């Protein structure tokens, strides 16, 4: 339900996207612009809820992050320490360099994540921009997804993560020249890109083009 001064949503009604963890966008559907917030879940016990990561990578926002266990039961590993996470547990990770991850100790475990950079106005991370485009990508609205990622590139110029996802959307939208140029630039900035591209069917339309990044062992 929405009104002139508010928006509401129920967790169960938000769109979910399956992957290693179930991703539940929150920020974009509610139009939140002052902080990052999304949720992640595992359907089965033992499943990944929060992938192991820090906040320093090309897709990260260098945020401090707060995790809240909404449903189920999570087990966190933060800086090598195991933390028990029954419903209602907060885990705050202030330092972007700290490695963190979480798995489900029970089925249907859901963790809400809130993030931002201390002392700075909020800017959606490169990863969050991809998440904003994900519903359009899933609906095969590749032009719409391309437009979102093009705006992200304006905020994060020369970011290899943004360039790579933009290339994928452009390739699917039939913009092959732009897709190849952005993919090549992404590979110049991050040596991992050739590996990502090698098995990514989104890029099949430009795979045979001159300059398509390849791994040295291929």
Instruction: Look up the pTM and report it.
Output: 0.85
Q: What pLDDT is attached to residue 216?
A: 65
C-beta of residue 66 within 8 angstroms of C-beta of residue 115: yes
Residue 212 domain flag: no
107 and 15 in a common domain: yes
For residue 159, what is the domain's CATH number? 1.25.40.10
160 plus 58 within the same structural domain: no
Q: What is the extent of the structural domain holding 71?
A: 2-116
Longest Cα–Cα distance of the chain, Å, equals 57
Considering the domain architecture, whether residues 82 and 149 belong to the same structural domain is answered as no
pLDDT of amino acid 196: 92
Query: Residue holding tokens 């943004």?
Result: 162
Q: In this structure, are 112 and 7 located in the same domain?
A: yes
Is 218 within a domain?
A: no
Of 58, 92, 116, the position where a domain reaches its end is: 116
Q: Is residue 63 part of a domain?
A: yes
Q: What's the pLDDT at 99?
A: 97
Structurally, the chain folds into a number of domains equal to: 2
Indicate whether 7 belongs to any domain.
Answer: yes
Q: What is the distance of C-alpha 70 from the center of its chain?
A: 20
CA distance 116 to 100: 16
Q: What is the pLDDT of residue 125?
A: 86
Q: Which of 80, 95, 116 is the last residue of a domain?
A: 116
Spell out the residues 6+ positions from residue 60 whose beta carbon is closer than 8 angstroms to its own: 53, 54, 96, 125, 126, 127
Half-sphere exposure of 54 (CA within 13 A, CB side): 9
92 within a domain of the structure (yes/no): yes
Same domain for 199 and 153: yes
pLDDT mean by block of 10 residues, the chain; 218 residues: 86 93 94 94 97 89 95 97 98 97 98 94 87 93 97 94 97 97 96 93 96 77
- Joined tokens for residue 149: 């990622």
Cα separation, 40 vs 51, in Å, equals: 10
Same domain for 164 and 89, yes or no, is: no
Cβ neighbours around 147 below 10 Å, total = 15
Shared-domain flag, residues 57 and 148: no
Are 21 and 91 within one domain?
A: yes
User: Any idea what the CATH number is for the domain that residue 51 is in?
Assistant: 2.60.120.10
Residue 88 in domain: yes
β-sheet bridge partners, residue 48: 103
The answer to whether residues 149 and 196 belong to one domain is: yes
Residues 53 and 103 in one domain: yes
The answer to whether residues 143 and 66 belong to one domain is: no
> Is 15 domain-assigned?
yes
Q: What is the pLDDT of residue 217?
A: 58
pLDDT value, residue 91: 98
Does 14 map to a domain? Answer: yes
Per-residue pLDDT, 2: 79
């Amino acid at each position: 339900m929405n009104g002139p001064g508010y928006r509401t949503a129920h967790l169960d009604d938000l769109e979910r996207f399956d992957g290693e963890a179930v991703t539940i966008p929150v920020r974009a559907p509610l139009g939140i612009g002052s902080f990052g917030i999304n949720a992640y879940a595992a359907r089965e016990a033992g499943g990944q809820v929060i992938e192991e990561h820090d906040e320093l990578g090309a897709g990260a926002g260098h945020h401090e992050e707060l995790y809240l266990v909404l449903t189920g039961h999570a087990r966190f590993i933060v800086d090598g320490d195991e933390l028990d996470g029954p419903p209602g547990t907060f885990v705050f990770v202030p330092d972007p360099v700290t490695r963190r991850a979480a798995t489900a100790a029970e089925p249907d475990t859901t963790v809400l994540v809130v993030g931002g950079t201390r002392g700075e106005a909020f800017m959606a991370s490169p990863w969050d921009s991809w998440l904003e485009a994900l519903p359009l990508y899933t609906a095969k609205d590749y032009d719409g997804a391309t437009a979102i990622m093009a705006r992200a590139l304006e905020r994060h110029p020369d970011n290899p993560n943004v360039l790579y996802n933009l290339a994928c959307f452009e390739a699917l939208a039939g913009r092959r020249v732009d897709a190849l140029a952005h993919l090549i630039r992404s590979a110049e900035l991050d040596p991992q890109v050739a590996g990502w591209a090698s098995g990514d069917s989104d890029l099949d339309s430009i795979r045979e083009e001159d300059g398509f990044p390849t791994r040295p062992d291929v």
